[in-house]
Structure 1
């Protein structure tokens, strides 16, 4: 990644976030460290758009009489489609690397292979089953419950990437998205972004009803976001120990793990 020719415009940061984290037709205008910093700080916005798109499809199907299972399946499918399955692929590759039990260099080589091993298949299977099961329970409570869960999960998943891009987290390889964004976000900015995401998730859920009225009170949603980010942090620490840093695959695994954890917490109520 080249050095920055000057401070990037906010639009450059947004293009970086949407251009690297979604398949939306966004043209990248800059590819440098400063733009990567702004882009990763904007990552939760990309997650919000993905989450709202998932919520829109799931909620529409439910209101049309499709039932909570169909709504849940559609909601889980939209993020996969809007990322071309890259985050799920990263989750599978990371599971194969971690499950191999091999030294970092060998594990990273396994992760770069195009095929998916048994650990990756099992991880994908249970991750998608858990997503659909949790969303099914939430849509069973009403369209708004499932819709808010989709939005909270989308934002939390991408905020986990912001935290993983903070200063002090190295890249495991000298190339790829992990190397491009690793260490670009100041720690204080990453923590502020996480706090803002948590507060906004709580506010969005609290707007649906009075405090304590059900699974979507502000405390519950805020806790879901925090535990989702905490899950991402635990996986990040493990990957740093095993691989020596982050890769694009690790970023995908962090997003999927954080989003799933937030959804499951929302379903527990």
Structure 2
């Protein structure tokens, strides 16, 4: 997350923002190892020295025969932009998993590269509560999830992950105020709450993301949940549902 690959005597590749490091410094700051490469078939070719940096010490380095067919790469799930499953296949993958949908999205063996804020954004735009179990999602919810997973990832890539260029309506811009004693809100006044789902802090807009329980025996960590049958019986707004639950 804060690592890099540097080449001795060459400029520093910058992702989004220019690096403040001195390109002439070698080994580079926070380096963990360096390796020198040479062309054994052409000894007149200059050697190339590569350095690997890792400020936060989160990375792992492995020697493998084939990067794509050996673990851990071979164990990753689909890439939402490179090989997103067709809707029918996606639906089957979703419905056979009995776990919170947020935890499923974060599972790298399910969808590779989907991190915490992306999962929150996708679920917000899909109007799905992160604690809803994947196998209880409706056909309409799965359709929306499939569409928004591609949309959020593609939009972020299109602007080179420059957050200021994300659409103003995205949850992303307003999800960082967990410690605000006055509460955290969307521009239209809808409150953002925070719950731990799948081991990660999740930003939720409860007036939009209603937690639907498949049956009365379903468990939930949220007080804002309603039975699926009740949703089907009444054509009510999200706000009305929340007020109903709070009054119980």
TM-score (norm 1): 0.26
- Structure showing greater relative contact order (alpha-carbon pairs closer than 8 Å, 6 or more residues apart): 1
**Structure with greater Cα Rg:** 2
- Structure with greater helix percent: 1
- Structure with greater strand percent: 2
TM-score (norm 2): 0.27
